Structure 1
Amino acid sequence: MSRLAAAAVTLTFMAAGCSSVNPTAADPAPDEPSSIRVATFNASLNRPAPGQLVTDLQGENAQARAVADVIVANSPDVLLVNEFDYSGDDAVRLFNDNYLDGQYRYSFTAPVNTGVDSGLDLDKDSALGGPGDAWGFGQFPGQYGMVVYSKFPIATESVRTFQNFLWKDMPDSLLPRDYYGDVSDALRLSSKSHWDVPIDVNGTTLHVLASHPTPPSFDGPEDRNGKRNHDEIRLSADYISGADYLYDDKGVRGGLDEGASFVMLGDQNSDPVDGDSVAGAIAQVLDLPRVQDPAPTSDGHGTDTADFADPTPGDLRVDYVLPSDDLTVLDSQVYWPNQAEHPSDHRLVWADLEI
């Protein structure tokens, strides 16, 4: 369970993006500090066909088991999993029940833009349909999705999602209108989605800001993916800063409330120094006064979190756990075991935070 001095709450069931509390012991007083471990892991639990992840998780799948072993070895209390195909709550339940011993009693998942057909020729191949014409690159709706698991209650009714936010509505964006032409105004910014998932940690609300911007590659001289990656990261930075131009999928405007506690999680596909991302992309978040960067490390790999092909792009730091300045960072690491095989080209990153 969590690293709390007192007993954690338990729950009788999980629901897709919804949970209900059934406490079995008294929680600590709201002003009593609690230490929790928050982690992000691009687990590569994506599959080439819709429904395949659900099928795999119904039985014993070697890669899913290896992913679960990584998670269990680090025992996070709050976890974002990137590249987890969206299928409603089916895969979420199966992975928790069959592979994680049911330890996460709360979860949130929601639709993403990957694989959702735009009806437009976004990749300029003179044909409609296919992964390049989806709002976010994907073979089917929900591929490369994400899920938040938590041992603490999720305030599902207060979750904010930004799947439908239009790129054109970001002031001074890098939207490459010369490339996209007449369809520019229709483009959604988030390649998957951006979520604000409020979690109740013994009376204190922790906002989990989850995202997975597109890789800044697989394009041409117009650098459309690099510019999208930059602006997806900027959306998170502007949300933290409380930008009033933002609107969520319910039409509610504005960003995070001033002074709110948060932790930004996810594979941002941007290294502070190396790689193909637009200069300063991840710095938009790292340089914010309210953001702490624990800069976690692992033995022999420094701050790198991804084991990509050598020499290009090589190992990079692209996965982040970034808490707000009101939280105390007790420890932080990149989990990089010495084993030859790993279930993903990314490594799990965690931070222990005092709430």
Structure 2
Amino acid sequence: MRLLASGLLLILAAGAGQAGTLRIATFNTELSRDGPGLLLRDIERGGDPQIAAVVEVISAAQADVLVLQGVDWDYEGRSLAALAGLLAEAGAAYPYSVFLQPNAGLPPPALLDMDGDGRTGGPRDNQGYGRFRGQGGMALLSRLPVDRNGIRDFSALLWRDLPGALLPKHPDGRPFPSGAVHAVQRLSSTAHWLVPLQLPGGKQLNVMTFHAAPPVFDGPEDRNGRRNRDEIRLWQLLLDGRLGPAPQAPFVVAGDANLDPDRGEGRKDAIRSLLGDPRLQDPQPLSPQAGSATVEWQGAGRMRVDYVLPSARLAVTGSGVVWPDAPDAAAALASRHRLVWADIALD
């Protein structure tokens, strides 16, 4: 397998591990498999080229804090532990992790037609899309200690309880697909977490991470587009203090918003508002190969959907997108998404 381009490795290594600098990264690994336990099986069996490529990309980036999407959750956390073991062998050890149960594949309290297709029991009839409980979950890996008592998991928040929720409706104004669904539908398609990390010197860094629903694969009611919009809005409402105590700076929003501010479908006002929020800053990470793009989808093309947004007063010393320089480079074999990183200076 080709290594990442030498120039890219130099760019990544320039900031990684420097005293007084912290590297934050997000990466939708797309490691999810079609059944429970299959990801763990593939990791333990060895020889899987995608898993090897993901490990190579992550180990080259050498992030201090890494949020991952597309990792299948299991009750004992064995899939993440196995992945972390491979990373440690590759020189990227993460002694701390967070791996909470996501909404992906989580059944609602009763058998309901959650997506309005006239059927029940399908992967879109769970709280978040998933063929099984935990498919395509999230994880956080960290070299900094986690304040576990301070973790705030917003994944159980009902969509209708979000201030200003843009719930889908039938043309006559009735709830889509039904009032019974609105009564139990959670906002998070995967999860929303606030994870406090202990910085050197006793301060904390709040990492706010999520994986929003794609704003497609629905009908004229725009259920997914509306949900995507509100999943992104959650962070600004949290900073406003409308979802409990507002987190104190320093903080970083990092994850997969599944929305480009300029291209593709979706309600772009949501991501534009987040990028323009004066409490945050957009380092505008780039790659020489694809500019600001962070994903390349067949048909839809290149878009920017993955973000690392530090709070406004943090000093950003560098940022980038790990884009492959050849079809057989690790970043191309790992995922359609690219690892996005930003370096921040510590006081």
Q: Please indicate, yes or no, whether the TM-score normalized by the shorter chain is above 0.5.
A: yes
1:106 aligns with 2:92: no
**1:95-119 deviation line (CA, Å, top 9, x unaligned):** 1112442610111110011111122
Indicate the residue corresponding to 1:260 in structure 2.
249
**Cα distance, 1:187 vs. partner?**
1.0
Indicate the residue corresponding to 1:165 in structure 2.
157
Indicate the residue corresponding to 1:45 in structure 2.
31
Indicate the residue corresponding to 2:22 in structure 1.
36
RMSD: 1.5
C-alpha contact 2:286 2:321 (8 A) present in aligned 1: yes
1:209 aligns with 2:208: yes
Residue range with higher mean Cα deviation, 127-136 or 99-108:
99-108
C-alpha contact 2:195 2:208 (8 A) present in aligned 1: yes
Aligned partner letter, 1:337:
P
Q: State how far apart, in whole Å, the 2-side matches of 1:173 and 1:181 are.
A: 16
C-alpha contact 1:155 1:198 (8 A) present in aligned 2: yes
Q: State how far apart, in whole Å, the 2-side matches of 1:131 and 1:65 are.
A: 28
**1:308-336 deviation line (CA, Å, top 9, x unaligned):** 123xx221000000000121000000110
Give the secondary structure class of the aligned counterpart of 1:264.
strand
Q: State how far apart, in whole Å, the 1-side matches of 2:326 and 2:146 are.
A: 35
1:280 aligns with 2:294: no
1:138 aligns with 2:126: no
- Name stretches of at least 5 consecutive residues in structure 2 with no aligned partner: 1-12, 171-175
**1:127-153 deviation line (CA, Å, top 9, x unaligned):** 321201001011001011010000110
**Cα distance, 1:296 vs. partner?**
0.6
Give the secondary structure class of the aligned counterpart of 1:44.
coil
Q: State how far apart, in whole Å, the 2-side matches of 1:214 and 1:109 are.
A: 19
* Runs of 4+ that moved beyond 4 A: none
C-alpha contact 1:191 1:214 (8 A) present in aligned 2: yes
Alignment of 1:222-233 (within 5 A): 222-233=221-232
Q: State how far apart, in whole Å, the 2-side matches of 1:298 and 1:186 are.
A: 42
Change (3 A) 1:338 1:236: same
Give the secondary structure class of the aligned counterpart of 1:350.
strand
Q: Which has the higher helix share?
A: 2
Indicate the residue corresponding to 1:251 in structure 2.
none
Aligned partner letter, 1:280:
D
Indicate the residue corresponding to 1:185 in structure 2.
183
Q: State how far apart, in whole Å, the 1-side matches of 2:307 and 2:125 are.
A: 29
Q: State how far apart, in whole Å, the 2-side matches of 1:154 and 1:214 are.
A: 27
Indicate the residue corresponding to 2:58 in structure 1.
71
Indicate the residue corresponding to 1:219 in structure 2.
218
Q: State how far apart, in whole Å, the 2-side matches of 1:327 and 1:35 are.
A: 11
**Cα distance, 1:211 vs. partner?**
0.0
- Structure number with higher relative contact order (C-alpha < 8 Å, ≥ 6 residues apart): 2
- Name stretches of at least 5 consecutive residues in structure 1 with no aligned partner: 6-33, 247-253
Give the secondary structure class of the aligned counterpart of 1:177.
coil
**Cα distance, 1:277 vs. partner?**
1.3
Indicate the residue corresponding to 2:344 in structure 1.
353
Of 97, 105, 129, 2:85 maps to 97
